[in-house]
């Protein structure tokens, strides 16, 4: 071995000992992107919705609880009503807002309170085409607020019985007539053959209001149907009427869910959504026309009250002589 070879060999040995260990490949970051987190949350929401579909047709108590939720959350989509129902643990929502919404109202969320997930529309564009997606949004019920505002959320809907009944029939798609025939135990019914709502004269408001609500629900569902049988849609009409009557704080005992129809118990989640979608849309339609009627009446009352409070301006007669009279 030459002198140079010895130098090289010794250098190799020394360098090998002093060389730092090879650096490990950088670990993949565990932090997920916003899109990935949203995708996982959406999947969990859709699973929850399917679970809700099975829950509400399992027994009458669950169904009625779901209808109670809808009476408080009519402005939310059907899917969001399913989500709220699943996450309220048997309680009814009163007022839902996100963290920033409660902060603006001067409120803070109690420590340890869990949010309620809902699906918020999120439009986006692909190749110039507008599409609709959904992001999961966190909201909190007023029961999660540390110091609820002094003002009531929401304000109770209190109206005179006559005004509520007038609102219920305003915009009804069919005529409403006094019945000369015996309606049995019903205070009002929808006559599908003649496309008219018949009511029993002399019925007290407590019986008439829920009966007319159910009859109008039938009328709304029947208006675009070539052939309509009440029996085929009786459960949906009862559910829709229950939501409306419950919303306005009136007696729902005549609309109590006594049993789940057999056909519902074997439905797949998508079919349950279809059936309950009709209920949701019908209740929202009836409630919407009622709200418009009542709000319009409130505005007119306020304008009349304002006009009554305004001082009348009396213009005194002029003492000036008309030019022609001066001649």
Q: Please give the share of the chain, as a percent, with pLDDT higher than 90.
A: 69
Lowest mean pLDDT among 118-127, 147-156, 210-219: 147-156
Residue from 1, 53, 47 nearest 280 by CA: 53
pLDDT of residue 16: 60
- Three-state secondary-structure class, residue 76: coil
Calculate mean pLDDT across residues 99-111.
Answer: 93
How many angstroms separate the CA atoms of 154 and 71, rounded?
A: 13
Q: Looking at the whole model, is its pTM more than 0.85?
A: no
- The residue count of the chain comes to 327
pLDDT of residue 65: 97
> What would the pLDDT profile of 16-47 be if each residue is shown by its tens digit?
655 555 555 555 556 788 889 999 999 999 99
Angle subtended by helix axes 230-247 and 60-72, to nearest 10: 50
Calculate mean pLDDT across residues 233-242.
Answer: 98
- Under the banding of pLDDT at 50, 70 and 90, the label for residue 314 is very low
How many angstroms separate the CA atoms of 121 and 131, rounded?
A: 10
How many angstroms separate the CA atoms of 214 and 238, rounded?
A: 6
pLDDT above 80: residue 320: no
Contacts 24+ apart (CB under 8 A), 76-81: 76/118, 77/119, 78/273, 78/276, 78/277, 78/280, 79/45, 79/49, 79/119, 79/273, 80/118, 80/119, 81/280
CB atoms within 10 A of CB 215: 28
CB atoms within 10 A of CB 140: 22
pLDDT above 80: residue 132: yes
């Amino acid at each position: 071995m030459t002198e140079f070879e010895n130098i090289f060999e010794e250098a190799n040995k020394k360098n090998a000992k002093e060389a730092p260990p090879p650096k490990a490949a950088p670990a993949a970051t565990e932090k997920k992107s916003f899109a990935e987190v949203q995708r996982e949350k959406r999947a969990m929401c859709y699973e929850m919705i399917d679970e809700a579909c099975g829950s509400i047709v399992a027994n009458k108590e669950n169904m009625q609880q779901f209808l109670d939720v809808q009476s408080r959350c009519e402005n939310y989509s059907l899917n969001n009503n399913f989500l709220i129902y699943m996450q309220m643990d048997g309680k009814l929502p009163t007022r839902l807002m996100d963290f920033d919404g409660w902060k603006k109202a001067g409120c803070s969320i109690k420590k340890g309170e869990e949010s309620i997930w809902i699906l918020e529309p999120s439009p986006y564009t692909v190749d110039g085409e507008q599409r609709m997606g959904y992001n999961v949004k966190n909201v909190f019920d007023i029961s999660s607020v540390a110091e609820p505002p002094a003002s009531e959320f929401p304000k109770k809907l209190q109206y005179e019985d006559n005004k509520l009944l007038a609102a219920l029939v305003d915009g009804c798609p069919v005529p409403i007539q006094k019945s000369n025939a015996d309606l049995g135990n019903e205070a009002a019914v929808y006559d599908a053959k003649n496309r008219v709502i018949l009511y029993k004269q002399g019925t007290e408001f407590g019986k008439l209001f829920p009966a007319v609500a159910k009859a109008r629900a039938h009328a709304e569902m029947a208006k675009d149907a070539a052939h309509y049988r009440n029996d085929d849609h009786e459960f949906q009409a009862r559910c829709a009427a229950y939501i409306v009557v419950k919303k306005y704080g009136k007696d729902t005992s005549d609309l109590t869910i006594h049993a789940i129809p057999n056909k519902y118990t074997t439905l797949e989640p998508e079919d349950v959504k279809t059936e309950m979608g009709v209920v949701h849309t019908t209740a929202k339609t009836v409630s919407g026309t009622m709200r418009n009627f009542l709000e319009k009446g409130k505005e007119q009352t306020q304008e009349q009250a304002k006009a009554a409070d305004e001082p009348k301006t009396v213009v005194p007669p002029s003492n000036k002589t008309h030019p022609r009279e001066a001649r």
